Structure 1
């Protein structure tokens, strides 16, 4: 009996489950309590701050890493795209394609062998041929190389199969491998930040391919637009009230709504337990005061009354102390929320004005830009168009070669560059406090306008006490943002502000930027941010 009908639907049977997955590194649980199920048609987005174990989880799901606890079960072939791809000295583009299409090559070889056996009329050759045909058809093996070629072109990748991989850039190598994965017909795709190194055309192609993928997808990404367009559910690895991951249905919108509701419940429960403990502490204090003063009866009362009243007060103190000792705040402190300080405002005054300013080779002359308090502007354009250069001109950090850039008197301007300055050995809070101190000592900031690092909700006390060189890229980026906001700028200039920041912080920052009285200019490629700010004026370079 032929097995064609059972094998052709291989992708429809694609299935991946993980239960109770836990992995420990250096005595710390990188992942714990991870449960997930991905079937054909499911596209699971995985999100979380840097260091929350997203890449580690993909390695476990792929079978490259064995968890310390829990189990993973897989049905169907797996294709995985890591963020990094080491290469040998002599491997070529064609070699990489052959590796990624190894299942296809094996299926075609098996079919050729079965066809030969059938032609020779060997015993059992008919069933062997039917099975081999079913496997090849399930992978659509004859069309795989064409699909890879289409993907290479769509992603802007090198298609010369003789090119040595080591002569290509990291981005080129990544795009080649991604094209292979999209063309190979794997039942399960595991992708780690797949939008890295892709332009607008590549992003559109990737999105369409993932939406149409008949198997299962696990997608680690900070790209909110990709998650919004592709994900059917989201696994959130960020801290929760019980320190277990959360899975939200309903795609990216369901995740945002569910996370917000979860956060509200967490904060409410924490506040309630803290208030209960404070009440118990107040009750104990009251009882102790009564023991020291309140037990004395009115003048003229006999010794017997005093003697009988004192033990009752002592017992009350003991009981209150026991109640306080027994009360435990079982809910951990919720993560900080970002809090935007009140920024500078000069209604009606010209803060910055640009007229025909340009820098040869970096920025073509920009006709006119006028910024006043409350103004909003989004700067877009391809790489190399001069977006960062324009922000540097607006900030006064770069003089124009042509045209004029004028700044109002004593206007405070804050610029968040794409990359953090070189990390130092000084602690984060020391660098922050020193920067604020300089602003005050030079008269740029009044003492009453100072805001502490903790008030901003960007770095916790533990991170703030660490040397900057030991902070993650995301934490250094948070410090950069904190120092910008500490200056209470009248003009806020943000160059790719979503780089290295968590999804939650980006959402909070976006909402705060909408209502600040300062002028705000944002240069970005981020598709979701552009969607969120679609009502802002746009300057395309």
Structure 2
């Protein structure tokens, strides 16, 4: 974009939200959210799964009305939700036209203004100047070329006639993301945009967001993207006063600020508890003096002798009332993931795949040997067959050639990229039903069963809600819990960081490094790749 174009975009892009509050089913989801996004700002929104991040983006986009608070927007708006419903008859070109509808409208207005100017209609000069400014502000003539560049960089289908229903979830998402990056919107609201991107796509997205002249609100659990892109971070996790916190200094500033905030909260709570204990002791001592008829020694004054103990009692009561008026809530400990014990016979070959191929998925023969405690990372660009390799290992996809052998009785579990359609049953009922089937079939001993909440993946409140009411991240946590319920000896994880909170990803990574099971990861997550740099690689 030209310097003038950037200046115009910077001048009009603005987003402000004040004291947003929203509850669902009587449960607070957003509480006192304040934020401001100006041109050049890239705000990262973080928090545990189910904390309301996607809900906040819907409120900011105007598709969801808060119970109270206000949102003010200036400039054009582009939104990428995590989920993308499609019309079975829409094509790639149709989706591009929908996402570039504003660009098309601006160009039509410019053509009409140009015609009016040529015909010397009254007021045509000003109408043409306004239409030209609008078109230049989003560089409308170059929008389709920018979309094509992003389609190629994100490895997305560019055939305009291709029906969307024939494409994977990841392909559809990448097409829409390419449209948003090419449309020239003043404000971008992006919900987990890295979930379906490979290394090249991640690099392209990072570069485009860093150079975006308007404002960006980015909901993400991708630690590398947050570190590379955001200028400020809004944390929706609990604080001492129950309100979200905004941290400057990018992702590094957030990490340091969050640590300091937590330490300050815990220190204030400890100080308050100590003060309560001291006041209780003072009150008890003063009341004892009254009940025993205590008096100070002679010579200290008649008035003092008569009133000192009652005055002390009143002072202690006043101080206690002050404490009650400014009570510091106990800092709730965050959920801590507890990986159940996954045991496998030492040195035993659990799974072996020799020269397997799947036509149309991966043509080059692949071989994998997994013993107890083995680690493997499967890498490669989108479409190279990573998910297919994991499906072959799991036994859910038959290879066209080659052989797969599993140790008799070996338990193999696969966490797929996408969650199954959500059930109306409550989360713990879904989990308990799986455990019940495993126990009744003899695959799991009842003594080894672990309750859903014991895994540290879902709090009790979420575990007792229907799965349809859970956030996408919470549904992903339930998928992980169901996988672990079977005590797999071979753990296959396809893009395991998708939708999961940063804290859980770090805990899961640490736990997988020490488990006795064999573990295979397929991932594009740059931070996870760094954290598993010493694991063997299978490059497709």
* TM more than 0.5: yes
Alignment match, 1:501: 500
5 and 460 in structure 1: CA distance in 2 versus 1, 3 angstrom threshold: closer
Alignment match, 2:147: 148
Alignment match, 2:530: 531
Alignment match, 1:383: 385
Q: Compare 182-191 and 172-181 and name the one that shifted more.
A: 172-181
How many angstroms does 1:350 deviate by?
Answer: 0.8
How far apart are the structure 2 equivalents of 1:488 and 1:100? 45
279 and 111 in structure 1: CA distance in 2 versus 1, 3 angstrom threshold: same
The 3-state SS of whatever aligns with 1:11 is helix
Alignment match, 1:336: 334
Q: Does 1:350 align with 2:365?
A: no
165 and 106 in structure 1: CA distance in 2 versus 1, 3 angstrom threshold: same
How many angstroms does 1:59 deviate by?
Answer: 2.9
143 and 169 in structure 1: CA distance in 2 versus 1, 3 angstrom threshold: same
Cα root mean square deviation, aligned: 5.1
The 3-state SS of whatever aligns with 2:145 is helix
How far apart are the structure 1 equivalents of 2:434 and 2:6? 66
211 and 324 in structure 1: CA distance in 2 versus 1, 3 angstrom threshold: closer
How many angstroms does 1:239 deviate by?
Answer: 2.9
246 and 481 in structure 1: CA distance in 2 versus 1, 3 angstrom threshold: same
279 and 358 in structure 1: CA distance in 2 versus 1, 3 angstrom threshold: farther
Alignment match, 1:371: 371
Alignment match, 1:71: 70
Alignment match, 1:62: 61
How far apart are the structure 2 equivalents of 1:484 and 1:275? 45
Alignment match, 2:244: 245
How many angstroms does 1:139 deviate by?
Answer: 2.0
How far apart are the structure 2 equivalents of 1:242 and 1:229? 30
The 3-state SS of whatever aligns with 1:12 is helix
123 and 416 in structure 1: CA distance in 2 versus 1, 3 angstrom threshold: closer
How far apart are the structure 2 equivalents of 1:8 and 1:465? 49
Alignment match, 1:309: none
Deviation per CA, 1:273-332: give whole Å up to 9, x if none. Answer: 5677789899999999x9xxxx9xxxxxxxxxxxxxxxx9xx99xx99x97998696314
479 and 188 in structure 1: CA distance in 2 versus 1, 3 angstrom threshold: closer
483 and 275 in structure 1: CA distance in 2 versus 1, 3 angstrom threshold: farther
113 and 503 in structure 1: CA distance in 2 versus 1, 3 angstrom threshold: same
How many angstroms does 1:389 deviate by?
Answer: 3.7
495 and 130 in structure 1: CA distance in 2 versus 1, 3 angstrom threshold: closer
How far apart are the structure 2 equivalents of 1:492 and 1:285? 59
TM-score (norm 1): 0.72
How far apart are the structure 2 equivalents of 1:443 and 1:8? 62
Q: Could you tell me whether the CA contact under 8 Å between 2:426 and 2:463 is conserved in 1?
A: no
Structure with bigger gyration radius = 1
Alignment match, 2:519: 521
Alignment match, 1:428: 428
Q: Could you tell me whether the CA contact under 8 Å between 1:336 and 1:460 is conserved in 2?
A: no
The 3-state SS of whatever aligns with 2:70 is strand
65 and 442 in structure 1: CA distance in 2 versus 1, 3 angstrom threshold: closer
How far apart are the structure 2 equivalents of 1:227 and 1:372? 35
TM-score (norm 2): 0.72
How many angstroms does 1:162 deviate by?
Answer: 5.3
Q: Could you tell me whether the CA contact under 8 Å between 1:355 and 1:366 is conserved in 2?
A: no
How far apart are the structure 2 equivalents of 1:241 and 1:522? 40
110 and 213 in structure 1: CA distance in 2 versus 1, 3 angstrom threshold: same
Q: Does 1:11 align with 2:9?
A: yes
Alignment match, 2:394: 392
How far apart are the structure 1 equivalents of 2:506 and 2:95? 39
430 and 156 in structure 1: CA distance in 2 versus 1, 3 angstrom threshold: closer
Alignment match, 2:306: none
Alignment match, 2:214: 215
How far apart are the structure 1 equivalents of 2:511 and 2:375? 13
How many angstroms does 1:484 deviate by?
Answer: 6.5
For 1:53-452, what aligned pairs fall within 5 Å after superposition?
53-86=52-85, 93-116=92-115, 118-119=117-118, 128-161=127-160, 171-270=170-269, 330-340=328-338, 343=341, 349-352=346-349, 357=354, 361=358, 367=367, 369=369, 371=371, 373=373, 375-381=374-380, 382-383=384-385, 386-389=388-391, 391-392=393-394, 402=403, 404-406=405-407, 415=413, 417-418=415-416, 428=428
Counting matched residue pairs gives 504
Structure 2: gaps spanning 5 or more residues? 293-308
Deviation per CA, 1:56-103: give whole Å up to 9, x if none. Answer: 322332334443322222232222233445555766555544443344
How far apart are the structure 2 equivalents of 1:108 and 1:360? 49
